């Protein structure tokens, strides 16, 4: 009977919706700004007796100028101590209460993450505020840190996976500040001085443009008073060079290959990349869903073709790396040297298939379910929530990113997915980054575009 068929169809729809009816909503939090411009987020979470702190600062590698690696070294050097907490005392006190404080620089911003048992929150916040507002940058510690950094840069060249990302950014962004290498290079870091770090700190570690979020087991009223007291004396500043990141990125006009020769390589590790999107792109969620199908999960087209069907690799995926003003997208995988050509061709076939065959309702439904089903565990812990709040601040996202996430996922139709693929998923002007043994794979590399060859042992060029 016609009627009952419809009823069954309707029932299936209901079940389909019902499965994910428990929408994940951002827990309540308060947000305020101190007089010096520091934005503060407080979110109470009482499940476990600890607190998590996340700080984001406009102090990433885009401000390095000619001194590649300076932002990174400055962020790490915050932990070299303050007047009240010289390094040894700092390490000892943090270790004793089982607290952690980590600071590091990224491409655009610097971050500090800290956590401790809630009974020690006053101690931890006191330390965090001193590290951020009055670090001493001890010269002896600086020289030790620099030596360790230089050795790590040398060691990174032993692992293709550790260096390929920096080469890709340089190749894609050219001399735009988004091409800056976060870790720096051996020659650039060799030239850094304690005075450089002092200066970088003074210019870029400023409360206006920064945010702190505290999530965990505390009382918001008391916490507001504590934070206001600890951070209000942090002096405002005016940053130089913040306009550099908004300069337009020159887009590639054809396929190009960067071949990084590693003489003892047995594998070829490669990216196939292109320009991507800004983080605040309104289609961000739709792109995430389509990417899930393309290269974002185990059964994705890429992993299916390169791993499951052919055994060419242990894993293949596609990733988006969005920034404030630009972004990148790339396929990443690796394969034995002798199967380099098969792996690259297979990846290119998958790109082609995405554009010609597109996605069908069944696979899109699967991707929507998957993205929604795996969403709540992303924001399960206080640390995850603290990180989310500072990210939302940084990219100017409002609560709707979280609260409408499932709705936005559900809103993606096959027709819309088709538009998303055509608009955002690259199919030409591809940038190939290959780390492997040039003697064996150079001929293959030439198939895909004009080849620039460099040695992994030498310094990366300023731009390619």
Site for another protein in 244-283 (CB under 8 A): 264-267, 269
**Residues of this chain, 315-344, that bind another protein according to CB under 8 A:** 315-317, 334-336
Q: Which residue lies nearer to another protein by CB, 159 or 233?
A: 159
Give me the phi and psi of 101, to 5 degrees please: -135, 120
Counting contacts by CB under 8 A, is residue 366 touching another protein? yes
Query: Token pair for residue 224?
Result: 């507001």
Counting contacts by CB under 8 A, is residue 166 touching another protein? no
Question: Which residue from 7, 9, 148, 191 is in contact with another protein, where contact means CB under 8 A?
Answer: 148
**The one segment of 90-98, 172-180, 226-234, 394-402 that binds another protein by CB under 8 A:** 90-98
Q: Which residue lies nearer to another protein by CB, 38 or 267?
A: 267
Angle at 164 between CA 163 and CA 167, to 5 degrees: 95
Q: Which residue lies nearer to another protein by CB, 244 or 397?
A: 397
Task: Please name every residue paired with 335 in a beta bridge, in sequence order, or none if there are none.
Answer: 268
**Residues of this chain, 40-59, that bind another protein according to CB under 8 A:** 47-50
**Residues of this chain, 189-248, that bind another protein according to CB under 8 A:** none
Contact 306, 317 (CB under 8 A): no
Q: Mutual orientation of helices 139-156 and 70-77 as an angle, nearest 10°?
A: 130
Site string for another protein, 381-410 (x = CB under 8 A): xxx---------------------------
Q: Which residue lies nearer to another protein by CB, 203 or 299?
A: 299
**The one segment of 20-28, 31-39, 122-130, 426-434 that binds another protein by CB under 8 A:** 20-28
Angle at 172 between CA 169 and CA 176, to 5 degrees: 80
Counting contacts by CB under 8 A, is residue 113 touching another protein? no
Angle at 72 between CA 66 and CA 74, to 5 degrees: 90
Q: Which residue lies nearer to another protein by CB, 155 or 240?
A: 155
DSSP 8-state code for residue 81: B
CA distance 81 to 139: 11
User: To which H or E segment does residue 433 belong?
Assistant: strand 431-436
- Burial of 369: CB neighbours in 10 Å, binned 0-12, 13-18, 19+: middle
Query: Token pair for residue 27?
Result: 């827990």
- Burial of 337: CB neighbours in 10 Å, binned 0-12, 13-18, 19+: middle
Counting contacts by CB under 8 A, is residue 67 touching another protein? no
Contact 51, 382 (CB under 8 A): yes
Counting contacts by CB under 8 A, is residue 450 touching another protein? no
**The one segment of 112-120, 121-129, 248-256, 353-361 that binds another protein by CB under 8 A:** 112-120
Question: Which residue from 184, 296, 327, 460 is in contact with another protein, where contact means CB under 8 A?
Answer: 296
Counting contacts by CB under 8 A, is residue 345 touching another protein? no
Question: Which residue from 154, 175, 345, 446 is in contact with another protein, where contact means CB under 8 A?
Answer: 154
Q: Which residue lies nearer to another protein by CB, 34 or 365?
A: 365
Mapping DSSP to helix (H, G, I), strand (E, B) and coil, where does residue 269 land? strand
């Amino acid at each position: 009977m016609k009627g009952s068929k419809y009823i069954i169809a309707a029932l299936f729809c209901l079940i389909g919706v019902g499965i994910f009816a428990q929408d994940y909503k951002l827990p309540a939090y308060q947000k305020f700004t101190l007089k010096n411009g520091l934005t503060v987020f407080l979110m109470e979470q009482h499940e476990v007796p600890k607190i998590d702190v996340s700080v984001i600062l406009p102090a990433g590698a885009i401000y390095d100028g000619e001194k590649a690696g300076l932002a990174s070294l400055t962020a790490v050097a915050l932990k070299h101590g303050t007047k009240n907490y010289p390094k040894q005392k700092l390490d000892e006190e943090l270790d004793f209460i089982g607290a952690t404080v980590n600071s590091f620089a990224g491409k655009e911003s610097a971050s500090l993450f800290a956590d401790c048992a809630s009974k020690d929150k006053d101690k931890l916040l006191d330390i965090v505020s001193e590290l951020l507002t009055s670090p001493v940058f001890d010269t002896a510690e600086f020289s030790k840190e620099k030596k360790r950094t230089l050795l790590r840069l040398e060691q990174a060249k032993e692992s293709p996976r550790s260096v390929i990302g920096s080469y890709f950014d340089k190749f894609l962004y050219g001399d735009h500040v988004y091409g800056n290498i976060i870790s720096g290079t051996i020659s650039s870091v060799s030239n850094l001085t304690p005075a450089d770090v002092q200066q970088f700190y003074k210019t870029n570690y400023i409360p206006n443009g920064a945010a702190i979020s505290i999530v965990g087991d505390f009382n918001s009223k008391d916490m507001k008073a504590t934070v206001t007291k600890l951070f209000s004396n942090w002096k405002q500043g005016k940053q130089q060079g913040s306009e550099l990141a908004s300069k337009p990125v020159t887009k590639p006009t054809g396929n190009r290959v960067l071949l990084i020769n590693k003489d003892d390589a047995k594998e070829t590790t490669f990216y196939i990349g292109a320009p991507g999107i800004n983080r605040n792109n309104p289609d961000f969620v739709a792109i995430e869903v389509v990417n899930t199908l393309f290269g974002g999960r185990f059964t994705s087209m890429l992993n299916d073709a390169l791993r499951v069907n052919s055994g060419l690799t242990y894993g293949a995926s596609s990733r988006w790396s969005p920034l404030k003003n630009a972004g990148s997208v790339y396929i990443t995988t690796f394969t034995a040297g002798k199967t380099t050509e098969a792996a690259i061709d297979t990846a290119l076939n998958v790109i082609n298939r995405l554009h010609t065959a597109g996605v069908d309702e069944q696979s899109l439904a699967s991707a929507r379910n998957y993205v929604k089903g795996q969403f709540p565990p992303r924001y399960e812990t206080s640390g995850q929530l603290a990180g989310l709040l500072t990210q939302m601040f940084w990219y100017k996202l409002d609560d709707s990113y979280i609260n409408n996430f499932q709705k936005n996922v559900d809103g993606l139709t096959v027709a819309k997915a088709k538009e998303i693929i055509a608009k955002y998923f690259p199919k030409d002007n591809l940038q190939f980054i290959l780390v492997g043994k040039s003697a064996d794979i150079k001929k293959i590399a030439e198939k895909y575009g004009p080849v620039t060859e460099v040695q992994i042992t030498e310094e990366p060029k300023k731009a390619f």
